[in-house]
């Protein structure tokens, strides 16, 4: 039986499972909901494909002379931008690909909003399923194989995901396609699917209703002061900011990220993707003319293909070229892995033994001192 990458380095991209000719590798969730490969020893023929294609085992070096470029971008369609996490760039690029008869792959909630999976859409109407940030690791499923089938049919494919998922797709395909466009994100780290599921169960019990809609980046109070908004079947709404919501606090303080996120092999300004999207933090300092409080996207172009794709939506956007090194100062997640929270392992030890909300309160609550300081700061600000 082949030996797979250690658990603390495996990012769950599923390339090994997808390339296995015997289909003897299953992606099995652990107690935190993170999926890891397990090999059926009786069926394994020791071909070595799972090792040779694993991005964590042998990260390929992208051969290109293209110098990465960075832009501040915002879509001109205010309705699209309002529903997007930042500047609405993804929706416009995805819409262009679909208009060309193409297919777009990305992360979407299931009907109950309790889990996130990669799906394919090829109609403008269904793009709403992929729009907006999902702060839960998505299950790749069979999306790599579906994308390959679409590519071989000659259809344009836009595949979006975390940097490790993009590397996983490239490892699975093992060849270049002129009709493939790769778009990743600046990733803070991927949070536990089981923690999210447990948190929603708590919210549903609290309201006595099932969840019908989730927005991790609701802009009711503006782009910079975004809210987690959860709507129930009966119209009731839970809404809280990233400082006070326990799930968002835990995510942003790295309490339940995947282990590999603390030593991410996919950081840097040179990417496997053709294009990288992110919130443009620091836009007020770098190019204030592109800040109106409604959301500005950072777009990093890493290939000629990515540059040409961005040009296809030029008429629908405002953009300003910026210096990439300046951008990194305000968004270090571009080049730096998440810092290991000292309570990360304790959180995992307790998780599953106690209700999710109990564990979140124990490890993710704001201290009384911090809460007091925040209240004083808020009062001084509004004097």
Q: What is the pLDDT of residues 5-26, one digit of tens each?
A: 888 999 999 999 999 999 999 9
Q: Spell out the per-residue pLDDT of the chain, length 383, in tens.
A: 567 788 899 999 999 999 999 999 999 999 999 999 999 999 999 999 999 999 987 666 566 779 999 999 999 999 899 889 999 999 999 999 999 999 999 999 999 999 999 999 999 999 999 999 999 999 999 999 999 999 999 999 999 999 999 999 999 999 999 999 999 999 999 999 999 999 999 999 999 999 999 999 999 999 989 999 999 999 999 999 999 999 999 999 999 999 999 999 999 998 999 999 999 999 999 999 999 999 999 999 999 999 999 999 999 999 999 999 999 999 999 999 999 999 999 999 999 999 999 999 999 998 655 665 556 555 555 55
DSSP secondary structure letters along 361-377: HHHHSPPHHHHHHHHHH
Q: What is the pTM of this model?
A: 0.93
Angle formed by the axes of helices 193-207 and 356-364, to 10°?
110
Q: Identify the residue whose tokens are 């000629």.
A: 304
Tokens of 148: 């390959």
Phi, then psi, of 117 in degrees rounded to 5:
-135, 155
Q: Where are the chain's structural domains?
A: 62-383
pLDDT at 331 (0 to 100): 96
Please compute, for residue 160, the number of CA atoms within 13 A of its CA located in the half-sphere on the CB side: 29
Tokens of 333: 């997640």
pLDDT at 366 (0 to 100): 82
Q: Rounded distance, CA 126 to CA 101, Å?
A: 14
Angle formed by the axes of helices 163-173 and 143-152, to 10°?
50
Looking at residue 16, the DSSP 8-state letter turns out to be: H
pLDDT at 19 (0 to 100): 95
Tokens of 287: 């190019």
pLDDT at 6 (0 to 100): 86
pLDDT at 353 (0 to 100): 96
pLDDT at 57 (0 to 100): 78
Question: Ramachandran region of residue 208, left (φ > 0), alpha (ψ -120 to 50) or beta?
Answer: left
DSSP secondary structure letters along 19-76: H-TT--EEEEE-TTS-EEEEE-TTT-----HHHHH-TTTSPPPP---PPPEEEEEEES
């Amino acid at each position: 039986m082949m030996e797979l990458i250690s658990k603390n380095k495996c990012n769950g991209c599923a390339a090994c499972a997808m390339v296995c000719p015997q289909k003897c590798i299953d992606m099995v969730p652990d107690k935190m909901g993170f999926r890891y490969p397990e090999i059926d020893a009786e069926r394994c023929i020791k071909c070595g494909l799972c090792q040779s294609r694993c991005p964590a085992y042998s990260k390929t070096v992208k051969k290109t002379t293209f110098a990465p470029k960075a832009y501040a971008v915002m879509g001109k369609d205010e309705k699209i931008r309002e529903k997007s996490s930042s500047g609405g760039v993804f929706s416009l690029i995805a819409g262009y690909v679909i208009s060309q008869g193409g297919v777009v792959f990305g992360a979407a909630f299931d009907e109950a909003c309790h889990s996130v999976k990669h799906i394919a859409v090829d109609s403008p109407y269904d793009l709403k399923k992929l729009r907006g940030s999902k702060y839960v690791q998505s299950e790749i499923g069979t999306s790599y194989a579906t994308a390959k089938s679409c590519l071989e049919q000659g259809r344009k494919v836009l595949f979006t995901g975390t940097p490790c998922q993009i590397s996983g797709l490239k490892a699975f395909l093992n060849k270049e396609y002129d009709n493939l466009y790769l778009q990743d994100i600046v990733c803070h780290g991927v949070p536990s699917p089981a923690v999210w599921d447990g948190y929603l169960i708590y919210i549903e019990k609290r309201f006595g209703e099932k969840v019908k809609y989730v927005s991790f980046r609701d802009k009711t109070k503006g782009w910079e002061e975004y809210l987690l908004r959860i709507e129930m079947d009966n119209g009731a709404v839970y809404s809280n900011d990233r400082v006070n919501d326990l799930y968002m606090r835990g995510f942003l303080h790295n309490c339940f990220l995947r282990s590999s996120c603390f030593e991410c092999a996919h950081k840097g300004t040179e990417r496997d993707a053709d294009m990288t999207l992110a919130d443009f933090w620091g836009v007020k300092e770098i190019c204030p003319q592109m800040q109106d409080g409604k959301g500005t996207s950072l777009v990093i172009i890493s290939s000629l293909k990515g540059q040409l794709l961005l040009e296809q939506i030029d008429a629908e956007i405002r953009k300003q070229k910026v210096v990439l090194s300046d951008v990194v100062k305000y968004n270090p997640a571009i080049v730096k892995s998440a810092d290991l929270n000292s309570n990360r392992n304790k959180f995992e030890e307790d998780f599953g033994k106690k209700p999710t909300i109990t564990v979140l309160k124990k490890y993710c609550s704001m201290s009384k001192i911090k809460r007091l300081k925040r209240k004083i700061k808020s009062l001084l600000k509004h004097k």
